[in-house]
Structure 1
Amino acid sequence: MRLILPTDQSPLDVLSQSLVKASPALEESPLASYNIRRILYGIPEGVQELPPLRALPLESCIDFMGGINFNKGCYVGQELTIRSHHHGVVRKRIIPVVFYPNSSNSEEVEIDLSYDPSSPIATELDTPTCLVGSSIVDLTPRASKASGNSPFAPSPFASSEPAEAKTSVASRPIGSIIAAVGNVGLALVRLEQFAAPDAKPAISVPNSQNNLQHYICVRGFQPFWWPQPEE
């Protein structure tokens, strides 16, 4: 629930008494809790996460939220939006991500989509300051093509075309961080490259002790509310 009110009123002032007195009692949550919840759901908002004249509606998942009328024309970016929609290929999307320490352990690390204030990332880094705007790179250089075995599949939202061959970590960013709170955030990612089975997305950050660069890993998740393709 989201309410826009004058500064001298709280949600409890305007909601019906039957709702306020319902069991369990309704309590006003802090803005930080709201932001964490919407980030976990993969929902961007505001000019920092959706910069005017730069953010594209389909990449920002606004079509999934019912925010685009595909029968209406004559708005800024309409031609690109409608063309991408009818082609059925959206190469980039905003998704929720989790940050976790990079490890030399070759075994797969189990990561859940959850906010953990005790995470080493949350306790050692001021993520809203040092991660937002950072590029995501793939730490696994490879020359093979990405396969369709993806955590975002089956999905019509990634390109069916083969991904470009990867030859080095710095060859091309596969995404960027647009929001971060503790160990979770939102990222605009290239779906095909980001979801490749052998990809290891990561961000370079300075070490607080010696100022040398090191990597933290990024795990992305497909929001549960995304529409699924028809069988």
Structure 2
Amino acid sequence: MLPRLRHYVTAAVTYRRIGSLLASAPKTGLYAEQQRQRGLVRVEGDEAADFLQGLVTNDIRHLKGNTSAIYCLLLNRQGRILYDSIVYQPSHNTFLLECDAARASQLERHLRMHKVRRRLEVEDVTADLSVWCVFDPAPDKMQLTQLSAEALYMNPKVQNEVTLDLAGDFRDVTIVEDPRVQQLGHRLVVPAATQSLRELLLGVKENTTNHTFRSLRYRLGVGEGPEELPSAKSLPLEANCDYLHGVSFHKGCYVGQELTARTYHTGVIRKRLLPLVFSENASEVSPDASVVDERGRAVGKVRACLGCHGLGLLRVEECLGAEKLTVEGHVVQTFRPYWWPLQAPKSKASL
């Protein structure tokens, strides 16, 4: 029987809203959006924590019960990304691994393959549970398209507090802050039968698509899922896993750890996932289209596009220093996300 997901909350939860892009930008309020493209795999048993510790890039010991979550990756033996995940711990020996819904069954098989004789259960529970996010989308799309690339980013020094008013029965709900970037808001794991959060959250607008949150992710430069982090091809540090608090360099061995650790300690990460801001709608841009500088040199590739926003795996130094970037004739800009460290963690890093 699936364990009940409990999260005891007070009457209100303080939520840090995104700083305004411009003084004249309207206050859009908080949005609630079901993440239909995300699934969940449950791992339960006395040995579950030790089992996951040997498979994920982050340290499972950082979890503090059902009040927190961690971001992590699962790698192949060559150190390439197989799955990106947010891990929840609804009870002491129970963990929920959020992943791309289309690959949840594959993740279940992957975990079972490594289970061997450990005393634990692994089950795809995507049909039983769903993931929602609650976030501030910032100004609407029309206003965002009128801003310069630099203005598209929230000023991290300007933060206002708003209150996320909670109501209703939360006995079967887990609510945590998104562990990647503060401006991604909160994530909720609720029973799949939940069609609306209106009875749980007061004053929150609901979206019927995933486009608003996806656009926010692109503006922040955060990748997710196999389309943006191609399976068995992407590298953890190029996907900013270190900047997103998704990898521990002190926990010990895990599958794929050697290449990641060696690159971090001795190498230079020349390419990273960066936000793209197009001068016009670029939804028709081809997957893996080349990003070209003013000299005609390819300096990266597009990973995803939605309207005027997208993600690209780019050569950081070349792209940030370029006078002009284009993709299939579209003018595009990129810049360093504000949430990146002001200085790289190592003196040898190129950022």
TM-score, length basis structure 2? 0.42
Q: 1:195 aligns with which of 286, 295, 320?
A: 320
Task: State the identity %.
Answer: 37
Q: Is the 8 A contact 2:320 2:335 kept in 1?
A: no
Give the SS at the match of 2:250. Answer: coil
Give the SS at the match of 1:2. Answer: strand
Partner of 1:62: 241
Deviations 1:104-128 (A, max 9, x none): xxxxxxxxxxxxxxxxx22xx5x1x
Distance in 2 (CA, whole Å) between partners of 1:131 and 1:5 is 36
Classify 1:6/1:135 alpha carbon distance in 2 versus 1 (closer, same or farther; 3 Å).
farther
Of structures 1 and 2, the one with the larger relative CO (CA 8 A, separation 6+) is 1
Larger relative strand fraction: 2
Distance in 1 (CA, whole Å) between partners of 2:248 and 2:276 is 28
Give the SS at the match of 2:197. Answer: helix
Give the SS at the match of 2:219. Answer: helix
Q: 1:225 aligns with which of 333, 339, 342?
A: 339
Trace 1:1-231 onto structure 2 (pairs within 5 A). 1-10=186-195, 12=197, 15=200, 20-21=201-202, 25-29=203-207, 30-87=209-266, 89-100=268-279, 121-122=280-281, 125=282, 127=283, 129-138=284-293, 140-141=294-295, 169=296, 172-198=297-323, 200-204=324-328, 215-229=329-343
Deviations 1:157-186 (A, max 9, x none): xxxxxxxxxxxx2xx521111111101101
Gaps of 5+ in 1: 101-120, 142-168, 205-214
Distance in 2 (CA, whole Å) between partners of 1:174 and 1:136 is 6
Give the SS at the match of 1:12. Answer: coil
Distance in 1 (CA, whole Å) between partners of 2:255 and 2:339 is 27
Distance in 2 (CA, whole Å) between partners of 1:190 and 1:90 is 9
Runs of 4+ with deviation above 6 angstroms:
none
Gaps of 5+ in 2: 1-185
Give the SS at the match of 2:339. Answer: coil
Give the SS at the match of 1:130. Answer: coil
Give the SS at the match of 2:237. Answer: coil
Distance in 1 (CA, whole Å) between partners of 2:275 and 2:245 is 19
TM-score, length basis structure 1? 0.62
Deviations 1:132-161 (A, max 9, x none): 3211112x22xxxxxxxxxxxxxxxxxxxx
